[in-house]
A and B are shown apart, each in its own frame.
Chain A
Amino acid sequence: MKNLQNCCFMCAFFMNDPVEFEKTFPGFTVLSSAYGSTRADAGLCIKKERIFLPSRKACEEFALKQKNVRR
């Protein structure tokens, strides 16, 4: 597995939990699912409101996440 230390994955603004992801997009589950293979581990940057893969290089807004926290 590649090192994700300096990627979106480690950022506090990156959200890719499937439960939260489905809640973010009402209507998403009508014909899709956040639990499917096609999503891979993609998530939403709640700072930039853009959708990224967790392996994307960290940007200037990066804020290190200290641990995974459930909402």
Chain B
Amino acid sequence: MSNDKGDVVQSVPPKSRWTDLYTKEDWWAIWLGLFIILGAYLAFSSGSSFVKAIAINPGGLKWDNVSQIIAHFEANASKYIMQYVFWLVFFTISTAIMGIKPSKFIPSFTLLYIFSIIVFTICGWKHAASFNLEPPLVALILGLILANILPIPRWLDEGFRVEYYIKTGIVLLGATFPITLVVSAGPVALAQATVISVTTCLTIFFVGTKYFKLDKRFATVLGMGGAICGVSAAMAGASAVGAKKEHLYSTVTLVVIAALIMIVVLPIVSKVLGLPAGVAGAWIGTSEFADAAGFAAAVSYGHMAGNESAALHAFTLMKVIGRDMWIGIWSFIFALIACLKWEKEECGVAPSPMEIWWRFPKFVIGFFVASIIMTIVTSGYSFAEFSKNVQPNLIAPISSLRAWTFIFCFASIGLTTRFKELKSVGWPAVAAFSTGVMINVILGWFMSTQLFYGFWSAIK
């Protein structure tokens, strides 16, 4: 079928939502994350060291001369090969089922794996911390340099699946995240996230439409992008209100640039302010747009503060559990407004409340399931047994594999960002978005460091 330009377009056929179980990366992240957790538990229970072996990571090497690096890789070459094959097989099969060609994914992922080893090795230098050589920042900056200096072909992007890797990492993070913490801290995180999400979204929308005369659909896309989870939320908002292509494209540019700036700036400012890791994690969770960018900032500051766990836990509570929940709700609300008020004749049908579920970031379910499973599994051990046996033989391998997925993600952010490809954006959109971001950052800072300081600083 052709249109009048001679283009042939392709649509994916309407599916039952059951097909999402194998066509959406959210579900694949759940399957892989739970598979690793189950495998780690079975290995732990049977005394096998297999999972521990493939969870090897040069990040903790603390080398101070090259011969130590060579010796490490010579001694552990088989473990790295097994690990590479494990990731490659699972990611290649799952992405192939989703529609990505293995002929493109395999060479791309291979380069990403080698790049990640290099990043981990650099950050395993004995003096890396003194120079703030945190793995997320090193991966991001090296990736940006390569992507913007070398002519990296675009087809390699097929293996740089930022979202897929971070979602898998979040499910694995659930295994080290006690469900009791979610229950006890969740209400505060949800309350803070609600204030932030509503305030930021409405600020961008009203400032954009009233003062900068932006199209209301454009203001919706900008508002959702700034208030919830960046590009994904912008996409959801764009389809909810029928936004123009250029609206989404412009929002992508604004979100990417602002997110990259904040990956670097937020940890540095947090360090200057001397914030506890939990407080900084909550602030980053309220200020960053995308999960991937936020985790990069939170992990960086966690390393700087010497308490990665607290920064990650607070960030996850605020961003993944708090703010990401809003994507379906805002989409539904704006779709209702668009259909019933803005373009009643064109729209035809009112949106279904099921929109909230369809848009729900499903990987969060995997995070909760992993958290519940591991909380139950580890509840039978005394503190001494946990520290001596469970931590090094079950939790540590899962954490190490999570670190790999995170570094795949952070490296992919850098390697896919080509500044020359980003669309130029008019100043009204920049002004409206920046106003929302400023309010977001300041309000997030106030709530994290003043209003709920005691709460967030106690997060472990």
- B334-368 contacts to A, CB under 8 A, are 346-349, 351, 355, 358-363
A37 to B233, CA, bound (A): 11
A-chain residues with CB within 8 Å of residue B3 when the two chains form the complex:
12-13, 46-47, 63
- A4-36 contacts to B, CB under 8 A, are 4, 7, 9, 12-20, 22, 24-33, 35-36
Which residue in A12, A26, A55 is a CB contact (below 8 Å) of B422?
A: A26
Min CB gap B249→A, angstroms: 6
Which of B39-47, B390-398, B411-419, B439-447 participates in binding chain A?
Answer: B411-419
Which residue in B15, B253, B255 is a CB contact (below 8 Å) of A41?
A: B15
Which of B52-60, B287-295, B378-386 participates in binding chain A?
Answer: B287-295
B-chain residues with CB within 8 Å of residue A43 when the two chains form the complex:
11, 239
A57:B349 contact, CB within 8 angstroms: yes
B10:A17 contact, CB within 8 angstroms: yes
A-chain residues with CB within 8 Å of residue B358 when the two chains form the complex:
37, 40
- A24-71 contacts to B, CB under 8 A, are 24-33, 35-44, 46-47, 49-57, 59, 63-71
**A36 and B243 contact, Cβ closer than 8 Å, known pairs A57-B348, A68-B10:** no
Which residue in B23, B292, B349 is a CB contact (below 8 Å) of A55?
A: B349
Min CB gap A30→B, angstroms: 5
Which chain B residue lies CB-closest to A69? B8
A-chain residues with CB within 8 Å of residue B64 when the two chains form the complex:
none
A33 to B232, CA, bound (A): 7
A31:B362 contact, CB within 8 angstroms: no
**A66 and B361 contact, Cβ closer than 8 Å, known pairs A27-B252, A29-B160, A40-B239:** no
**A42 and B98 contact, Cβ closer than 8 Å, known pairs A28-B231, A71-B10:** no
Which residue among A19, A29, A71 has the maximum number of chain B CB atoms within 10 Å of its CB? Answer: A29
Which residue in A26, A33, A46 is a CB contact (below 8 Å) of B161?
A: A33
Which residue among A19, A24, A26, A67 has the maximum number of chain B CB atoms within 10 Å of its CB? Answer: A26
Interface size on A, residues (CB 8 A): 55
A31:B12 contact, CB within 8 angstroms: no
A67 to B72, CA, bound (A): 56
B-chain residues with CB within 8 Å of residue A28 when the two chains form the complex:
231, 235, 252
- B1-32 contacts to A, CB under 8 A, are 1-3, 5, 7-16, 20, 23-27
B360:A63 contact, CB within 8 angstroms: no
Min CB gap A65→B, angstroms: 5
A-chain residues with CB within 8 Å of residue B7 when the two chains form the complex:
46
**A39 and B347 contact, Cβ closer than 8 Å, known pairs A12-B1, A31-B290:** no
B256:A31 contact, CB within 8 angstroms: yes
B186 on interface, CB distance cutoff 8 Å = no
**A65 and B1 contact, Cβ closer than 8 Å, known pairs A31-B292, A38-B236, A56-B347:** yes
A38:B327 contact, CB within 8 angstroms: yes
B-chain residues with CB within 8 Å of residue A29 when the two chains form the complex:
157, 160-163, 416
A19 to B236, CA, bound (A): 17
**A37 and B347 contact, Cβ closer than 8 Å, known pairs A50-B242, A54-B11:** no
Min CB gap B329→A, angstroms: 12
A39 to B327, CA, bound (A): 10
A38 to B361, CA, bound (A): 6
Supply 20 A–B pairs (Cβ within 8 Å), ascending by A. Answer: A7-B348, A16-B12, A17-B12, A25-B249, A27-B418, A28-B252, A29-B160, A33-B25, A36-B24, A36-B25, A41-B14, A44-B245, A49-B244, A51-B244, A52-B239, A56-B242, A59-B346, A64-B1, A70-B10, A71-B9
Please give 20 more A-B residue pairs, beta carbons under 8 A apart, in addition to A39-B236, A50-B242, A69-B1: A1-B16, A18-B98, A25-B249, A32-B230, A32-B232, A33-B163, A33-B232, A37-B358, A37-B363, A38-B235, A42-B236, A49-B245, A49-B246, A50-B244, A51-B238, A51-B244, A54-B14, A56-B347, A57-B347, A70-B10
**What are the 10 closest A-B residue pairs judged by CB atoms, nearest first?**
A57-B348, A42-B239, A32-B231, A33-B163, A31-B290, A26-B421, A12-B1, A15-B9, A51-B238, A49-B245
Give chain A's interface residues, CB within 8 Å of chain B: 1, 4, 7, 9, 12-20, 22, 24-33, 35-44, 46-47, 49-57, 59, 63-71
